[in-house]
């Protein structure tokens, strides 16, 4: 009698089955291993031993965390996707497709008439079990509660599906705007579905009989439902023993016999020895010994605000409310900066209610003679809170933090704030904030990240933080994004690292992320200065604080109210602005306070902002809008020049009045470089007698139309949108789709090194042709063309047989000239509008922002309405191509060989010559070339004492952080 054991060791759980000789499961085990894999495995093997009848049996290991363990001990191993395939084939061979979501991996298997195709997610892709855990934590629910919530959803919100970090920045504003949890829960599941389709199916259709495997799909009925509805599935298979299904397949794959006792002994020996056998680099311990820790603790106790008793206080009081993205903080100050009242809580999705309760508490505790003289709010929800409670004012969080830091050290050089979701760093020179750094979507190793890890390893965050103190040799986990760190932790676990070492390693990661990714310092003294204040909730973690000091090699100040600095700053500002009495709601008003919210979509322009209408008693406050129109303000700002809107509108004027029914129709996708070249192509084809049709305006749904043919999920969003546009064109009644490969751009300056387009812009048509099966080779035309040389243009154009039949050489020559003129006229109109914009700013004495990017950033789906947002702040918006001919940055330190880059350098130089003008660069996530331009532009601006600000944009639609940046930029120089 031969039994088999299959063991599946995943990133969070360990699963095993025991099969009898008919391959029937006689016993199964499922447990969370909480980072001690070997311990869990040994425990599991002993249980198995009790159930077996023989000592010699087949054993096989599978799963990502099992791989190194098996290798180290020379044990038999089968890759997990193979195990899953085997299990499915044993079940029945009628499957068409299998979707397996694990803790951190997502896999898809296609069974196609005997050929099996297996795919796994790339390195940069969430959408898995860990993602669900993170999202559930975010709204304070267990995964099971999340599932229950999703049952009653009403609408789905768009949430970026690429990875957890991005999704968070989508969910956060939704929470702050008070969207329903039921809707958010369902939207989270929908995001996973979209991610799976976009990331894994890559053009293959998921249809027919589909198997669902893995933890999340076994446990969450609503996730399955989202898949079923989205894919229109009718035949779905969920194995009875879903959670151990892969272990079952692994058992079937077993080919090596082991003596179970010896097997257990091997693992036990490994547990003893393996501490020394790790490949991951280790870091120095945070504290050499207990004494070192005590000295450290004492030193940091010095920076404290004193607490005073509110119930006996008499005099003036000042209130600061920091409505952050995940937490709400409240601080009540006395005239002498004593803390009379403090409050800190997770938002739990309804910050308004939290603040109301806290305020009532204050009113009830305070004696008659204690009077609130002023109240300010700050943070993501500053406007909402200010309006709800009728506060005296609000201010940008950057300014509030600086105010607070000054109290602890008036000579402060550098402030670094690491909160739950974001990281903010400010450099201060001569009492002015000279540079603001915020973490980008892809490097957010912040507080909530530590918390999620702590939870997944089975600890609460405070206990987890303490573990770091005792770490002997912290694991080096690198410092890119959460997804990478997840797998770093996974590897450390597999190598049997202690939880202490992992905790300390994560503390180091947070710090390194801040120093080398966000601040990008190489020389702390030079870049940060000597007087450094650290704040934000994450610095309460002594491990993080110590790692920070270790890494920069000097001591820093951590106030005892590190987590309340924003509120403290707001209170200080309230004190500055205090008048007779605060306008804040009274106790009875608070008690009769009613709050309701409704969702709506603004239809006043094509941005279609998702609005939340907050109704407080009889007052309305609208959030989610980009411009003043959505807020219900009648006064229009349409006459403030905005090059982004101007260019888009201008392009839309290149249209034929009527359709010629006898002529062929050609479709042009509104994508990438086409945004600039439309005047040329339109005129050319119009002259040649074609009907010209464009793809529709970009939108999320247009994107989704093409997302299943995207082969590389790390390409930039503007490129990924191309798939949708082509699909959209295909659905129109047209004869040809024209999308040329253009390695070379136009020549504008003679000192440039070359005039390339970036590889993605240049050759995306090739990718489209290779990945969109629906395209007909006969109708999709993608010649290689350059506009610079007429002779070669004509030659290359006519080389294209599909075009040749419609075009004579003579007509083409004529059309080329007209097209080029049209293009130059278009550029001229932009220059003229640029001139008008600068004049307008001067005449009306309002600030001007150069929003520098690339031509395709005028697509509202790409820029997410940021140009409108800036205009709503009464600011003129310029684009790089409106002013690039006004200055020559002849000397750059990098190769000046991309036309769009040359424009960036030249326009940056020009902007330094204007007063009251600011620079913001729009950078699409995944644009490797902007790693080069960003640095170079910063140098140009630095030399002329201008601030460099960068806003990273992707699928995500998060204006909150853009808003803070823009407002900080505008206000930091005023003060």
Partner 1 sequence: MATLKYDKDGRLLFTKEMKHDYKILIPAMAPYHFEYFVHSLKSEGYDAEVIKTTDFDVIHEGMKYSHNDICVPAMLVIGQFIDYIKRHNIDKHKIAVIITQTGGGCRASNYVSLIRKAFKKANLEFIPIISVNAVGLEKNPGFRVSLTLLMKLITALMMGDLLMQLYNETAPYEKNKGETEVVYQEVNTYLNAYFYKPARRVFYHPKKLFERVIKRFSQIDVDKRVKKPKVGIVGEIYVKYSPLGNNDLEKTLRNEGCEVITPNILDFFLYTFDSSIYDIETYGGSTISKYAYKFLIKFIEHRRNKVRKQLKKYGFNVFTTYKELRKLSEGFIKKGMHVGEGWLLTAEMLELIHSGAPNIICTQPFGCLPNHIAGKGMIKKIKKAYPKSNIVPIDYDTSATEINQMNRIKLMITNAKRNLTKGDKNV
Q: Which of residues 119-138 bind partner 1 (CB under 8 A)?
A: 120, 122-124
| Stretch of 369-377, 419-427, 489-497, 613-621 lying at the interface with partner 1 (CB under 8 A) | 489-497
In which residue are the tokens 């820093």 written? 556
CB of 219 to partner 1, least distance (A): 23
Beta carbon nearer to partner 1, 120 or 465: 120
> How far apart are alpha carbons 80 and 15 in whole angstroms?
12
- Residue of 772, 690, 778 lying closest to 726 (CA atoms): 772
798 binds partner 1 (CB under 8 A): no
Residue of 21, 117, 472, 530 that binds partner 1 (CB under 8 A):
117
Tell whether residue 494 is a contact of partner 1 (CB under 8 A): yes
Per DSSP (E only), the strands in 356-429 are: 370-378, 393-394, 414-418, 423-429
By DSSP bridging, strand 848-852 and strand 876-879 are: parallel
Least separation, in Å, of the C-beta of 450 and partner 1? Answer: 17
State the binding string over 17-56 for partner 1 (x if CB under 8 A, else -).
----------------------------------------
Q: Does 751 bind partner 1 (CB under 8 A)?
A: no
CA–CA dist 940, 921 (Å, integer): 13
Closest CA to 343 of 352, 335, 357: 357
Cα distance between residue 227 and residue 245, in whole Å: 20
Interface region with partner 1, contact rule CB under 8 A, candidates 30-38, 427-435, 573-581, 736-744: 736-744
In the complex, what is the shortest distance from the CB of residue 645 to partner 1, in angstroms, rounded to a whole number?
Answer: 29
**Shortest distance in whole angstroms from residue 581 CB to partner 1:** 49
Burial class (CB in 10 A: 0-12, 13-18, 19+), 550: middle
Of positions 161, 377, 479, 889, contacts partner 1 by CB under 8 A = 479
Residue 340 or 760 with smaller CB distance to partner 1:
760
Query: Least distance in Å: CB of 920 to partner 1?
Result: 18
Tokens of 822: 């049209």
Looking only at the bridges linking them, the beta strands covering 370-378 and 315-323 are parallel
Among 30, 744, 806, 840, binds partner 1 (CB under 8 A): 744
Does residue 606 touch partner 1 according to CB under 8 A?
no
Rounded CA gap, 477 and 479, in Å?
Answer: 7
Coil/strand/helix, residue 489: helix
Tell me if 792 contacts partner 1 by CB under 8 A. Answer: yes
Asked whether the beta carbons of 612 and 351 are under 8 A apart, the reply is no
The two three-digit tokens of residue 350, written as one number: 């309804």
Report H helices in 652-789: 674-687, 700-706, 717-730, 759-771
State the Cα–Cα distance between residues 542 and 548, nearest whole angstrom: 10
How many other C-beta atoms lie within 10 A of the C-beta of residue 738? 25
Q: Which of 255, 336, 430, 522 binds partner 1 (CB under 8 A)?
A: 522
How far is C-alpha 677 from the chain's CA centre? 31
What is the x/- site pattern for partner 1, positions 157-186, by CB under 8 A?
------------------------------
Report 443-462 residues binding partner 1 (CB under 8 A). 443
> Which residues contact residue 327 at a Cβ distance below 8 angstroms, ignoring those fewer than 6 apart?
344, 345, 346, 347, 419, 420, 537, 563
Residues paired with residue 370 on neighbouring β-strands, in sequence order: 315
Give the span between the Cα atoms of 463 and 385, in whole angstroms: 33
DSSP state letter for 469: H
Interface of this chain with partner 1, residues 190 to 229, rule: CB under 8 A: 202-203
Task: Choose the binding region for partner 1 from 42-50, 238-246, 554-562, 748-756 (rule: CB under 8 A).
Answer: 748-756
d(C-alpha 903, C-alpha 748), whole Å: 9
Choose between 425 and 870: whose C-beta lies nearer to partner 1.
425
**Least distance from C-beta 933 to partner 1, angstroms?**
10
Q: Which stretch binds partner 1 (CB under 8 A): 238-246, 449-457, 739-747, 867-875?
A: 739-747
Determine how β-strand 13-19 pairs with β-strand 77-78.
Answer: unpaired
Question: Whole-number minimum distance, CB 502 to partner 1, in Å?
Answer: 14
Q: Are 72 and 56 in contact (CB under 8 A)?
A: no
CB of 768 to partner 1, least distance (A): 9
Exactly one of 29, 100, 105, 170 binds partner 1 (CB under 8 A); which one?
105
Residue 719 binding partner 1, by CB under 8 A: yes
Regarding 935 and contact with partner 1 (CB under 8 A), the answer is: yes
Q: How many CA atoms lie within 13 A of 915 on its CB side?
A: 5
With CB under 8 A as the contact rule, which of the stretches 337-345, 461-469, 714-722, 835-843 interacts with partner 1?
Answer: 714-722
Q: How far is the CB of 211 from partner 1 (least distance, A)?
A: 18
Site for partner 1 in 422-441 (CB under 8 A): 440
Choice from 82, 590, 615, 800 touching partner 1 (CB under 8 A): 82
The Cα angle at residue 582 between residues 580 and 584, in degrees rounded to 5:
160
Piece of the chain touching partner 1 by CB under 8 A; list 239-247, 477-485, 597-605, 873-881: 477-485
Q: From CA 276, how far away is CA 473, in angstroms rounded? A: 11
> Would you count residue 741 as binding partner 1 (CB under 8 A)?
yes
927: contact with partner 1 by CB under 8 A: yes
Please identify, using beta-carbon distances, which residue of 369 and 526 lies nearer to partner 1: 526
The DSSP code for 158 is P
* Interface with partner 1, residue 949, by CB under 8 A: no
118 scored as a contact of partner 1 (CB under 8 A): yes
Q: Is residue 60 within the footprint of partner 1 (CB under 8 A)?
A: no
**Closest distance of CB 709 from partner 1, Å:** 8
Residue among 315 and 759 whose Cβ is closer to partner 1: 759
| Cβ 389 vs Cβ 334: under 8 Å | no
- The nearer residue to partner 1, 120 or 415, going by C-beta atoms, is 120
Q: Does 281 bind partner 1 (CB under 8 A)?
A: yes
Give the number of residues in contact with partner 1, rule: CB under 8 A.
84
Three-state secondary-structure class, residue 235: strand
Instruction: Compare residues 107 and 857 and give the one whose CB is closer to partner 1.
Output: 107
Closer residue to partner 1, CB minimum distance, 201 or 538: 201
The CA distance from 708 to 193, in Å, is 12
By CB under 8 A, the residues from 847 to 906 that bind partner 1 are: 891, 893-895, 897-898
The dihedral sign for the CA sequence 439, 441, 445, 450: positive
The backbone torsions φ and ψ at residue 161, rounded to the nearest 5 degrees and listed phi first, read: -100, -5
* Among 35, 500, 757, 907, interactor with partner 1 by CB under 8 A: 757
- What are the φ/ψ torsions at residue 435 (nearest 5 degrees)? -155, 140
The answer to the question of residue 393 lying near partner 1 (CB under 8 A) is no
Return d(Cα 604, Cα 590) in angstroms, integer: 34
Contact window for partner 1 (CB under 8 A) among 13-21, 266-274, 592-600, 782-790: 782-790
Is 101 an interacting residue with respect to partner 1 (CB under 8 A)? no
Task: Identify which range of 406-414, 418-426, 791-799, 859-867 contacts partner 1 by CB under 8 A.
Answer: 791-799
Name residue, tokens 């896999």: 107
Query: For residues 291 and 323, is the Cβ–Cβ distance under 8 A?
Result: no
Q: Residues 358 to 377: which contact partner 1 by CB under 8 A?
A: none
Burial class (CB in 10 A: 0-12, 13-18, 19+), 78: buried
438 burial via Cβ count (<10 Å: 0-12, 13-18, 19+) = buried
Is 645 a residue that touches partner 1 (CB under 8 A)? no
Residue 506 found at the interface with partner 1 (CB under 8 A)? no
Give the shortest CB-110-to-partner 1 separation in angstroms. Answer: 11
């Amino acid at each position: 009698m031969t039994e088999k054991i299959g063991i599946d060791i995943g990133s969070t759980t360990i699963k095993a089955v025991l099969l009898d000789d008919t391959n029937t499961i006689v016993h199964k085990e499922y447990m969370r291993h909480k980072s001690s894999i070997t311990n869990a495995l040994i425990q599991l093997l002993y249980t198995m031993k009790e159930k077996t009848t023989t000592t010699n049996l087949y054993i096989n290991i599978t799963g990502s965390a099992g791989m190194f363990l098996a290798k180290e001990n020379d044990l038999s191993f089968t890759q997990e996707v193979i195990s899953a395939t085997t299990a499915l084939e044993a079940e029945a061979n009628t499957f068409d497709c299998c979707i397996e979501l694990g803790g951190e991996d997502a896999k898809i298997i296609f069974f196609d008439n005997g050929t099996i195709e297996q795919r796994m997610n790339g390195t940069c892709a969430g959408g898995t079990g860990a993602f669900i855990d993170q999202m559930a934590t975010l709204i304070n629910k267990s995964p099971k509660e999340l599932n229950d919530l999703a049952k009653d959803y009403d609408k789905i919100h768009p949430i970026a599906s690429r990875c957890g970090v991005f999704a968070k920045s989508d969910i956060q504003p939704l929470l702050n705007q008070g969207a329903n949890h039921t809707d958010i829960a369902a939207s989270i599941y929908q995001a996973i579905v979209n991610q799976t389709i976009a990331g894994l199916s890559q053009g293959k259709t998921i249809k027919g009989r589909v198997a669902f495997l893995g933890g999340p799909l076994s446990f969450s009925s609503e996730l399955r439902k989202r898949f079923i509805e989205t894919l229109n599935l009718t035949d779905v298979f969920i194995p009875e023993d879903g959670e151990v299904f892969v272990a079952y397949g692994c058992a079937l794959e077993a080919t090596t016999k082991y003596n179970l006792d010896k097997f257990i002994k091997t693992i036990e020996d490994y547990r003893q020895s393996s501490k020394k056998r790790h490949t991951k680099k280790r870091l120095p311990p945070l504290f050499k010994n207990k004494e070192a820790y005590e000295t450290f603790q004492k030193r940091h106790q010095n920076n404290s605000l004193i607490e005073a008793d509110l119930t006996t206080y008499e005099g003036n009081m000042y209130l600061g409310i920091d409505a952050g993205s995940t937490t709400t903080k409240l601080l009540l100050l006395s005239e002498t900066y004593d803390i009379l009242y403090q409050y800190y809580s997770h938002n739990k999705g309804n910050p308004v209610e939290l603040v109301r309760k806290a305020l009532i508490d204050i009113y009830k505790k305070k004696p008659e003679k204690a009077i609130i003289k002023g109240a300010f709010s700050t943070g993501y929800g500053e406007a909402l809170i200010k309006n709800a409670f009728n506060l005296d004012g609000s201010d940008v969080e950057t300014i509030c933090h600086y105010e607070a830091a000054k109290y602890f050290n008036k000579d402060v050089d550098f402030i670094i704030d690491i909160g739950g979701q974001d990281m903010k760093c400010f450099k201060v020179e001569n009492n002015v904030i000279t540079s603001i750094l915020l973490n980008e979507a892809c490097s957010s190793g912040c507080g909530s990240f530590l918390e999620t890890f702590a939870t997944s390893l089975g600890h609460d965050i405070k206990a987890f933080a303490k573990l770091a103190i005792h770490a002997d040799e912290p694991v080096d986990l690198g410092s890119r994004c959460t997804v990478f760190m997840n797998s770093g932790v996974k590897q450390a676990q597999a190598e049997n690292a202690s939880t202490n070492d992992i905790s300390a390693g994560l503390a180091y990661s947070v710090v390194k992320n801040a120093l080398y990714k966000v601040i990008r310092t190489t020389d702390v003294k030079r870049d940060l200065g000597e007087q450094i204040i650290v704040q934000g909730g994450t610095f309460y973690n002594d491990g993080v604080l110590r790692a920070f000091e270790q890494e920069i090699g000097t001591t820093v100040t951590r106030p005892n109210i590190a987590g309340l600095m924003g509120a403290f700053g707001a209170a200080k500002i309230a004190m500055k602005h205090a008048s007779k009495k605060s306008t804040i709601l009274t106790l009875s008003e608070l008690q009769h306070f009613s709050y309701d919210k409704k969702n709506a979509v603004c239809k006043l322009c094509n941005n279609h902002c998702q609005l939340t209408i907050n109704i407080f008693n009889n007052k309305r406050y609208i959030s989610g809008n980009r411009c003043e129109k959505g807020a219900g303000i009648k006064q229009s700002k349409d006459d403030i020049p905005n090059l982004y809107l101007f260019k888009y509108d201008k392009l839309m004027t290149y249209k034929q009045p009527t359709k010629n029914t006898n002529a062929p129709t050609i479709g042009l996708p509104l994508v990438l470089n086409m945004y600039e070249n439309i005047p040329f192509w339109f005129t050319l084809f119009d002259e040649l007698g074609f009907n010209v049709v464009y793809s529709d305006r970009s939108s999320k749904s247009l994107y989704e139309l093409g997302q299943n043919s995207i082969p590389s999920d790390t390409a930039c969003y503007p490129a990924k949108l191309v798939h949708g546009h082509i699909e959209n064109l295909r659905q129109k009644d047209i004869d040809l789709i024209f999308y040329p490969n253009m390695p070379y751009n136009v020549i504008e300056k003679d000192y440039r090194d070359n005039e390339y387009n970036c590889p993605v812009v240049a050759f995306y048509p090739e990718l489209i042709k290779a990945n969109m099966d629906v395209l007909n080779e006969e109708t999709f035309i993608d010649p290689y063309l350059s506009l610079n040389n007429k002779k070669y243009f004509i030659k290359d154009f006519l080389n294209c047989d599909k075009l040749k039949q419609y075009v004579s050489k003579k007509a083409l020559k004529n059309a080329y000239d007209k097209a080029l003129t049209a293009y130059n006229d278009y550029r001229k109109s932009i220059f003229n509008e640029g001139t008008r914009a600068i004049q307008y700013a001067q005449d009306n004495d309002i600030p001007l922002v150069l929003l520098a990017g690339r031509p395709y950033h005028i697509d509202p789906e790409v820029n997410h309405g940021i140009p409108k947002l800036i205009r709503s702040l009464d600011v003129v918006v310029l684009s790089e191509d409106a002013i690039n001919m006004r200055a020559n940055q002849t000397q750059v330190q990098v190769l000046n060989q991309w036309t769009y880059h040359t424009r960036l350098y030249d326009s940056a130089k020009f902007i330094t010559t204007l007063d009251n003008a600011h620079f913001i660069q729009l950078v699409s996530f995944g644009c490797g070339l902007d790693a080069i331009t960003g640095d170079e532009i910063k140098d140009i601006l630095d030399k002329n004492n201008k601030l460099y600000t960068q806003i990273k944009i992707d699928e995500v639609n998060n204006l909150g952080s853009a808003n803070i940046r823009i407002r900080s930029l505008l206000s930091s120089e005023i003060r």
